A and B are shown apart, each in its own frame.
Chain A
């Protein structure tokens, strides 16, 4: 297994970043949080930052490293002040598998949220897909 390959990859273009979560404010119905993002090289890894969101003033930032086809990273989201989450900040981590042509990454996230007013960690699906190179 390649561990921390030094090969520099490029992830040009814009990407659709989506993660799914049980919406505790809407009967736990699965909801998607969606951003258009860019991916840039930074130090030994890469950074993701949102350039568009579905809802006003929501932002997503993440960083990750690549080991072969395995993507491992952490993220921080500032939710929309006018949305369900009222500007709440979320922090978490994720691991994804990248496809062979480097256009799609799918996996899971873990992050803390609230369940009946108590902080608790949740997990769910995460996907990054190239929109336009």
Chain B
């Protein structure tokens, strides 16, 4: 039984390819931008490891978390695209997501360090991990 959520979910494995997206306030327009990756989730003894699949921009994300029934709590590390807006900068932070009853979608929040006009600051935003398919084949480009 989940200590916080009271859920009795037991996640044995999380196969397939998932789309991991986190949202942050845009630096270039009103509203949000998303950082999106296709990832795989590998079960560990007390949670899971998330790692992105190779993409054309050489950006990567990895995370690991512990699971308390349907509540995942962990840390993440992102290497942004060397030629992208964030010029290969590395970001890190923490996150918590709740796995929905279908075990196909996880929704929650991230907290992570960033820059606001040269000043280091901690930001927060939405985080979503959704099942995308058995493999990368046929999935739209992100």
Contact = CB atoms under 8 A, between A and B. Distances in A.
Interface size, B (range): 20 to 34
B111 A108 contact: yes
Nearest to A76: B3
A70 B121 CA distance: 10
Interface size, A (range): 20 to 34
Contact of A93 (B68, B94, B113): B94
If over half of B's interface residues share one DSSP class (helix, strand or loop), that class is named, otherwise mixed; here it is strand
B132 interface: no
A25 interface: no
A18 B117 CA distance: 27
Given A72-B92, A119-B71, A112 B124 contact: no
Interface stretch (B29-37, B95-103, B134-142): B95-103
Interface of B: 3-7, 66, 68, 70-71, 73-75, 90, 92-98, 107-113, 120-124
Interface of A: 1, 3, 67, 69-70, 72-74, 88-97, 106-112, 119-123
